[in-house]
Each structure stands twice: as C-alpha cells, then as structure tokens.
Amino acid sequence: MLLCANADKTETEEELEMIQNSTSTKTFLKMHKKFHKHSEKKRFKKIDAVIHKHDYSQMELAAFRREMYKIFFSDCSFSMLEERLDMTLDNILY
C-alpha cells in the first residue's frame, strides 16, 4: 500500500491515514521506515516474494486491488505514474 501511496512521489496525509487504519501504529511505522530505506527495485522484489510465498487466493488478490485503487483515487486522480505502477503490480499479482 505504501508503494501505491508513493507512486506519484507524493504521500498525502489521507493516503497514509488509510494505510494506518488497516494496521497497528507500530507496524505502520516499522514498514514506513523500511519502505523509504529500499530502492524501487528492492520494493518490487519484496512484494513479488511475499505474493508467491503466501499463495493468495483470487479473492484475496481482488481485495488487495480494491485497496490499491482506494489509495490511487484518494486524491481524485489517476496519474500516469500510478497507472504504470498498477500495470507493474498487475503483472506481479497475476
């Protein structure tokens, strides 16, 4: 989710709040710190590894996509960078 919030290189308060509401504050802060420490390439590798390790169902992946779109559209726009990320994550997820 942090990758989605950062797709256009701007994490809004609303996007971060949406992510925080889905996890504990401690977990969010830990993940936020790790996220900003890694390169984009490493972020994608970690996502790919987690997706394949846990073997999520189609329903779980669809729920994840809905959460992605909530973050993408929280600012009422879908930038070209967000669209590119969406396509990249689509390739990783499916």
Q: What is the pLDDT of residues 37-93, one digit of tens each?
A: 999 899 999 999 999 899 899 999 999 999 999 999 998 888 899 999 999 999 988
Q: Is the dihedral of CA 24, 34, 52, 68 positive or negative?
A: positive
pLDDT band at 10 (very low <50, low <70, confident <90, very high): confident
Q: Which domain, by its residues, includes 63?
A: 2-93
How many whole angstroms separate alpha carbon 67 and alpha carbon 74? 11
User: How many C-alpha atoms does 30 have within 13 Å on its Cβ side?
Assistant: 5
List CB contacts of 18: < 8 A, sequence separation 6 or more.
1, 5, 70, 71, 74
Please compute Rg for the chain using Cα positions: 13
How many whole angstroms separate alpha carbon 10 and alpha carbon 36? 12
Domain count across the chain: 1
| 82 touches 92 (CB < 8 A) | no
So what's the pLDDT on residue 2?
Answer: 93
- Count of Cβ atoms closer than 10 Å to residue 27 Cβ: 11
